[in-house]
Amino acid sequence: MKHFNIAIDGPAGAGKSTIAKEVARRLGFVYVDTGAMYRTMALHFIRSGIDPKDEQAVAASCRDVDVSLRYENGVQQVLLGGENVTGLIRTEEVGNMASATSVYKPVREKLVQLQQALARRENVVMDGRDIGTCVLPDAPAKIYLTASSAVRAGRRYKELVEKGMECDLAEIERDIIDRDYRDMNRENSPLRQAEDAVLVDSSCMTVEQVIAAILEAAKSRGLEVE
Work out the end-to-end distance of the chain between its first and last CA atoms, rounded to an integer number of angstroms. 12
Q: 15 — alpha (psi -120 to 50), left (phi > 0) or beta? A: left
Put the strands of the sheet holding 124-128 in their side by side order. Answer: 30-33, 124-128, 5-9, 141-146, 198-201
Type of residue numbered 198: V
- Measured CA to CA in angstroms, residue 118 lies from 66, 80, 105, 140 at distances of 15, 17, 20, 16
Binding site listing for ATP: 10-18
Contact (Cβ atoms closer than 8 angstroms) between residue 29 and residue 71: no
Q: State the chain's maximal CA–CA distance in angstroms.
A: 51
Annotated binding site: 10-18
